[in-house]
């Protein structure tokens, strides 16, 4: 047991001298309002790495092409042998897609990429909540790179890193790939590290999602006269589900496996998104006829998780669902998929099909409900809860 003679309390994000005395640091929480030993501030060697997918450096065609090349050449995204992957990316995608994607990014670009701006805001708030950690963010693709942040940690003598991937659900092309990449670099660095697992059913995350959704539903439809709540998730190839099944025999194409308990659920994207939806809907007390799960952002011609969002948006008005709200459950931060695909493209489809009201619920971003949930997730991973 180690003791320190001088301790501090965090007040309004500042350390204020409190008293002299003997304090057991094993019983000290690192959050606002808690007692913190002075020397621990100087001696702390823990880094907190907030990990997100990535974004181009700018919306111009050159930077979008560079980003798409890095993203699509990932073996966990297009899971084909390198020669076939290269033929697809260099022969079919990069000659045309960067121009189209650049126009889409230009529609949503702010002073910087919205995804990077929102990630910075989350990082800043978590930095205030964990003043004894060295808190930084990195992108799996693009900047700041994971390697540059880990190098910065090493230069500042960080000895241990907590990796917090901003992915609520496991998919080999998102959480799996980002963590694999970060772990390769961390192992080379020689630093100890802890990776926070997907938090798709963490009580505080569900509480944040439900509270956030309820707030925006009341804001969009103050009289409560909405017809349907759409939970939209990024689709993935069906083969990714099967590849991620550690048992090798649990995953079924019809989805019946998702309600049968199995160790495979720790790596099953479909099970996890359905569980998130179920828990949020229960907290909101929604009947099953008032919400549904759909999938967006399909890429390529292989079999992907369905039903597809675009088709559903065209059909909903004809089925009496003319006043809807939609939330993208895969994303913690705003990005191209939420601001352009959902808010612009999806809106056009729905209203053109006869829809009357199309309300978009943004991702959690840096909302306080989410920041408090994230802090709880981090504390649990660090053994503080």
Task: Label the pairing between strands 6-11 and 14-20.
Answer: antiparallel
By CB neighbour count within 10 A (0-12 exposed, 13-18 middle, 19+ buried), where does 328 fall? Answer: buried
What pLDDT does residue 43 have? 53
SS3 category, 82: helix
CB contact at 8 A, 320 and 227:
yes
Say yes or no: 182 and 251 in one domain: no
CA distances 219 to 213, 284, 287, Å, are 10, 15, 21
Is 194 in the same domain as 208?
no
Taken as a whole, the chain contains a residue count of 385
Work out whether strand 357-361 and strand 323-328 pair parallel, antiparallel, or are unpaired.
parallel
Query: Where in the sequence is the domain holding 94, given as residue range(s)?
Result: 44-198
Span 225-251, average pLDDT: 93
Tokens matching residue 360? 């978009």
Is residue 280 one of the residues assigned to a domain?
yes
Residues 218 and 357 in one domain: yes
Confirm whether 286 is domain-assigned: yes
Q: Do residues 233 and 164 both lie within one domain? A: no
Q: Give residue 263's pLDDT.
A: 86
Task: Report the half-sphere exposure of 150 (CA within 13 A, side-chain side).
Answer: 23
Of 162, 178, 198, at which residue does a domain stop?
198
Average pLDDT in the 116-126 region?
A: 98
On whether both 126 and 252 belong to a single domain, the answer is no
Could you tell me if 165 and 76 lie in one domain?
Answer: yes
Min mean pLDDT across 98-107, 241-250, 273-282, 366-375 is at 241-250
Structure tokens given for 63: 């930077």
Q: What is the mean pLDDT of residues 2-24?
A: 37
pLDDT for residue 4: 36
Please indicate, yes or no, if residue 370 is contained in any of the structural domains.
Answer: no
Would you state the pLDDT for residue 22? 36
The region, left, alpha or beta by phi > 0 then psi within -120 to 50, assigned to residue 204 is alpha
Question: Do 188 and 221 belong together in one domain?
Answer: no
pTM: 0.88
- How many domains is the chain built from? 2
On the 0-12 / 13-18 / 19+ scale of CB atoms within 10 A, 301 is exposed
332 is a domain residue: yes
The count of other CB atoms within 10 Å of the CB of residue 217 is 18
Q: Residues 65-113: pLDDT tens digits?
A: 999 999 999 999 999 999 999 999 999 999 999 999 999 999 999 999 9
Question: How confident is the model at residue 262, as a pLDDT?
Answer: 87
245 & 190 share domain? no
């Amino acid at each position: 047991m180690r003791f320190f003679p001088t301790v501090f309390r965090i007040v309004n994000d500042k350390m204020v001298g409190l008293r002299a005395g003997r304090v057991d640091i094993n019983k000290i929480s690192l959050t606002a309002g808690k007692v913190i030993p002075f020397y621990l501030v100087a001696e702390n060697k823990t880094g907190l790495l907030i990990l997100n997918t990535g974004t181009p450096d700018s919306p111009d065609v050159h930077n979008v092409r560079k980003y798409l090349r890095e993203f699509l050449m990932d073996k966990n995204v297009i899971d084909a042998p390198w020669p076939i992957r290269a033929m697809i990316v260099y022969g079919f995608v990069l000659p045309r897609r960067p121009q189209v994607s650049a126009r889409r990014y230009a529609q949503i670009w702010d002073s910087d990429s919205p995804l990077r701006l929102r990630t910075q805001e989350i990082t800043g708030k978590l930095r205030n909540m964990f003043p004894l950690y060295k808190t930084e963010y990195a992108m799996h693709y693009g900047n700041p790179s994971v390697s540059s942040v880990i190098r910065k940690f090493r230069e500042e003598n960080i000895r241990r890193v907590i990796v917090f991937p901003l992915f609520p659900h496991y998919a080999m092309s998102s959480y799996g790939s980002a963590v694999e990449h970060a772990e390769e670099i961390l192992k080379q660095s020689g630093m100890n590290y802890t990776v926070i697992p997907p938090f798709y059913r963490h009580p505080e995350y569900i509480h944040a999602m439900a509270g956030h959704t309820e707030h925006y539903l009341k804001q969009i439809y103050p009289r409560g006269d909405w017809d349907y709540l759409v939970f939209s998730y990024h689709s993935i190839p069906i083969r990714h589900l099967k590849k991620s099944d550690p048992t090798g025999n649990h995953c079924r194409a019809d989805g019946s496996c998702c309600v049968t308990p199995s160790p495979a659920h720790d790596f099953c994207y479909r099970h996890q998104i359905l569980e998130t939806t179920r828990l949020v809907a229960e907290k909101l007390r929604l009947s099953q006829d008032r919400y549904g799960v759909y999938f967006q952002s399909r890429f390529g011609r292989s079999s992907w998780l369905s039903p597809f969002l675009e088709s559903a948006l065209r059909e909903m008005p004809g089925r009496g669902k003319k006043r809807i709200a939609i939330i993208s459950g895969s994303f913690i931060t705003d990005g191209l998929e939420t601001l352009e695909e959902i808010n612009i493209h999806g809106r056009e489809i729905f209203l053109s099909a006869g829809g009357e009201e199309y309300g978009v619920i943004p991702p959690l971003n840096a909302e306080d409900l989410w920041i408090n949930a994230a802090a709880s997730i981090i504390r649990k991973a660090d053994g503080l809860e």
